Chain A
Amino acid sequence: MSPMASVTTKRGLEFGAPVLSCQNLWKLYGGSPETLLRQSNGKLDPEIIRAAGCIGAVRDVSLEVNKGEILVVMGLSGSGKSTLVRCLSLLVRPTIGEIFFEGQDLLAMSRRELQDVRRHKMGMVFQHFALLPHRTVIDNVAFPLEIQGISKQERTERAAQMVELVGLAGREEYFPAELSGGQQQRVGIARSLTVGPDLWFLDEPFSALDPLIRREMQDEFLRLQSLLNKTIIFITHDFDEAIRIGDRIAIMNEGEVVQIGKAEDILTSPANDYVVEFTQGISRERVLTVQKVLMPAPASFHPTQFVMETDTLDVAANTVLSSDGPVGVKGAGDDRVLGIIDNKKLAKVLYEN
Chain B
Amino acid sequence: MSLTQSTNKAESNTFYRANLPLGTKKILLSVILISLLFVPGWFGAATSNLVEYPATWIVPLNEWTSNGIYWLVNDFDLGLFTFKEFTRGISWLLTRPFILAEGILVSGFSFGSENVVVPPLSWMGVLLFCVLLALRIGTPGLALGVGLSLLYMAVFGLWESAMTTLASVSVAVPLGVFGGLAIGVLAHRNGVFAKILNPILDIMQTMPIFAYLVPVLFFFGFGPVAALTATIVYALPPMVRITRIALEQVPKEISEAGTMAGCTEAQMLRKVLLPSALPSLLVGVNQVIMLSLTVVIIASMIGAGGLGYDVLTALRRLSIGQGLEAGLAITLMAIVMDRFSQAAAQKSQVKRHENPRLPIWVTGWAILAALLLPTILSNWIAIFAAYPEELILSTARFWDDAVTWININLYDTLSTIKYGFLINVMLPVKQFMHSLPWSGVVLFVGALGFILSGWRLGLTVAALVFFLAMTGNWEKSMTTVYLVSVGVVLSFVLGFPVGLVAVYSERARGAILVAIDTLQTLPSFVYLIPVVMLFENGDFAALIAIVAYAIVPSIRYTEFGIRSVSKDLVEASDMMGCTRWQAFLKVKLPLAFPEIMLGVNQTIMMALSMLIITALVGTRDLGQEVLNALQKADPGRGLVAGLCVAFIAIIADRLIKASADRMRRRMSGQKSE
Q: Is A147's beta carbon under 8 Å from chain B?
A: yes
Residues of B with C-beta under 8 A to A201: 260
Q: Is B276's beta carbon under 8 Å from chain A?
A: yes
Q: Is B60's beta carbon under 8 Å from chain A?
A: no
A249 to B: closest C-beta gap in Å:
24
Residues of A with C-beta under 8 A to B254: 130-132
CB interface residues, A 104-132, toward B, < 8 Å: 115-120, 122-124, 126-132
Residues of A with C-beta under 8 A to B272: 132
Mask of B262-285 contacts with A, CB within 8 angstroms, 1/0: 111001000110011010000000
A234 to B: closest C-beta gap in Å:
15
In the complex, identify which listed stretch (A33-41, A169-177, A238-246) lies at the interface while the others stay far away. A169-177
**Contacts A116-B262, A147-B262, A148-B262: A126 and B256 contacting too (C-beta < 8 A)?**
yes
Q: Is A11's beta carbon under 8 Å from chain B?
A: no
Per a CB cutoff under 8 Å, which of A143, A146, A175 touches B352? A175
Q: Is B415's beta carbon under 8 Å from chain A?
A: no
19 new A-B contacts, CB < 8 A, other than A131-B257, A134-B348, are: A115-B262, A115-B264, A118-B259, A120-B262, A123-B260, A124-B256, A124-B257, A126-B253, A126-B257, A130-B253, A132-B257, A133-B351, A134-B275, A134-B276, A134-B278, A136-B353, A147-B261, A177-B351, A192-B260
Q: Is A91's beta carbon under 8 Å from chain B?
A: yes
Q: Is B350's beta carbon under 8 Å from chain A?
A: yes
Q: How far is the CA of A136 from the CA of B355 in the complex (A)?
A: 14
Residues of A with C-beta under 8 A to B350: 177
Q: Is A326's beta carbon under 8 Å from chain B?
A: no
Per a CB cutoff under 8 Å, which of B253, B261, B276, B351 touches A119? B261
Q: Is A118 a contact partner of B260 (Cβ separation < 8 A)?
A: yes
Closest to A174 in B: B353
Q: Is A89's beta carbon under 8 Å from chain B?
A: yes
Mask of A175-187 contacts with B, CB within 8 angstroms, 1/0: 1111000000000
Per a CB cutoff under 8 Å, which of B259, B262, B264, B275 touches A132? B275
Q: Is B89's beta carbon under 8 Å from chain A?
A: no
Q: Is A144 a contact partner of B352 (Cβ separation < 8 A)?
A: no
Q: Is B251 a contact partner of A178 (Cβ separation < 8 A)?
A: no
Residues of B with C-beta under 8 A to A119: 261-262
Enumerate 12 A-B pairs (CB-CB under 8 Å) in ascending A order.
A119-B262, A122-B260, A124-B260, A126-B253, A130-B251, A131-B254, A132-B254, A133-B276, A147-B262, A176-B351, A177-B350, A177-B351
Q: How far is the CA of A6 from the CA of B592 in the complex (A)?
A: 64
**Contacts A91-B259, A126-B253: A175 and B271 contacting too (C-beta < 8 A)?**
no
Q: How far is the CA of A32 from the CA of B272 in the complex (A)?
A: 32
Per a CB cutoff under 8 Å, which of A130, A134, A135, A147 touches B263? A147
A297 to B: closest C-beta gap in Å:
52
Q: How far is the CA of A127 from the CA of B253 in the complex (A)?
A: 8
Closest to B265 in A: A111
A82 to B: closest C-beta gap in Å:
11
Per a CB cutoff under 8 Å, which of A130, A176, A177 touches B257? A130
B511 to A: closest C-beta gap in Å:
31
Mask of A75-101 contacts with B, CB within 8 angstroms, 1/0: 000000000001001010000000000
Residues of A with C-beta under 8 A to B253: 126-130
Q: Is A130 a contact partner of B267 (Cβ separation < 8 A)?
A: no
Q: How far is the CA of A319 from the CA of B267 in the complex (A)?
A: 60
Closest to B259 in A: A91
Q: How far is the CA of A191 from the CA of B275 in the complex (A)?
A: 18
Q: How far is the CA of A267 from the CA of B24 in the complex (A)?
A: 64
Q: How far is the CA of A143 from the CA of B270 in the complex (A)?
A: 13
**CB-based closest 4 A-B pairs:** A119-B262, A175-B351, A130-B253, A130-B257
Residues of A with C-beta under 8 A to B263: 115, 147
Q: Which residues of B pack against A, CB within 8 Å?
A: 251, 253-254, 256-257, 259-264, 267, 271-272, 275-276, 278, 348, 350-353
Interface size class of A (residues with CB under 8 A): 35 or more
Q: How far is the CA of A143 from the CA of B260 in the complex (A)?
A: 11
A205 to B: closest C-beta gap in Å:
12
Residues of B with C-beta under 8 A to A86: 256
Residues of B with C-beta under 8 A to A174: 353
Residues of B with C-beta under 8 A to A192: 260
Q: Is B256 a contact partner of A147 (Cβ separation < 8 A)?
A: no
Residues of B with C-beta under 8 A to A136: 353
Most buried by A among B253, B259, B271: B253
Q: How far is the CA of A119 from the CA of B260 in the complex (A)?
A: 7
Closest to B268 in A: A147
Q: How far is the CA of A172 from the CA of B251 in the complex (A)?
A: 24
Mask of A326-343 contacts with B, CB within 8 angstroms, 1/0: 000000000000000000
B345 to A: closest C-beta gap in Å:
13
Q: Is A128 a contact partner of B271 (Cβ separation < 8 A)?
A: no
Most buried by B among A123, A133, A175: A133
Q: How far is the CA of A122 from the CA of B10 in the complex (A)?
A: 54
B129 to A: closest C-beta gap in Å:
26
Residues of B with C-beta under 8 A to A128: 251, 253
Q: Is B352 a contact partner of A118 (Cβ separation < 8 A)?
A: no
Mask of A143-159 contacts with B, CB within 8 angstroms, 1/0: 11011100000000000
Most buried by A among B251, B260, B263, B352: B260
Residues of A with C-beta under 8 A to B278: 134
Closest to B253 in A: A130
Residues of B with C-beta under 8 A to A191: 257, 261
B255 to A: closest C-beta gap in Å:
9
Q: Is B260 a contact partner of A91 (Cβ separation < 8 A)?
A: yes
Q: Is B353 a contact partner of A175 (Cβ separation < 8 A)?
A: yes
Q: Is A118 a contact partner of B262 (Cβ separation < 8 A)?
A: yes
Closest to B255 in A: A130
Q: How far is the CA of A61 from the CA of B275 in the complex (A)?
A: 37
Q: How far is the CA of A176 from the CA of B256 in the complex (A)?
A: 18
Residues of B with C-beta under 8 A to A134: 275-276, 278, 348, 351
Q: How far is the CA of A176 from the CA of B260 in the complex (A)?
A: 19
Q: Is A173 a contact partner of B353 (Cβ separation < 8 A)?
A: yes
Residues of A with C-beta under 8 A to B275: 132-135
Q: How far is the CA of A57 from the CA of B572 in the complex (A)?
A: 39
Q: How far is the CA of A115 from the CA of B267 in the complex (A)?
A: 12
Closest to A137 in B: B353
Q: Is A132 a contact partner of B260 (Cβ separation < 8 A)?
A: no
B250 to A: closest C-beta gap in Å:
10
Residues of B with C-beta under 8 A to A123: 260
Closest to A203 in B: B253
**Contacts A123-B260, A126-B256: A178 and B353 contacting too (C-beta < 8 A)?**
yes
B1 to A: closest C-beta gap in Å:
12
Residues of B with C-beta under 8 A to A122: 260
A271 to B: closest C-beta gap in Å:
31
Residues of A with C-beta under 8 A to B353: 136, 173-175, 178
Closest to A172 in B: B353
Residues of B with C-beta under 8 A to A130: 251, 253-254, 256-257
Q: Is B256 a contact partner of A144 (Cβ separation < 8 A)?
A: no
Q: How far is the CA of A119 from the CA of B350 in the complex (A)?
A: 30
Q: Is B276 a contact partner of A132 (Cβ separation < 8 A)?
A: yes
Q: How far is the CA of A175 from the CA of B275 in the complex (A)?
A: 14
Most buried by B among A123, A132, A174, A176: A132
A348 to B: closest C-beta gap in Å:
47
Q: How far is the CA of A146 from the CA of B263 in the complex (A)?
A: 10
Residues of B with C-beta under 8 A to A120: 262
Residues of B with C-beta under 8 A to A91: 256, 259-260
A128 to B: closest C-beta gap in Å:
5
A346 to B: closest C-beta gap in Å:
46
Closest to B254 in A: A130
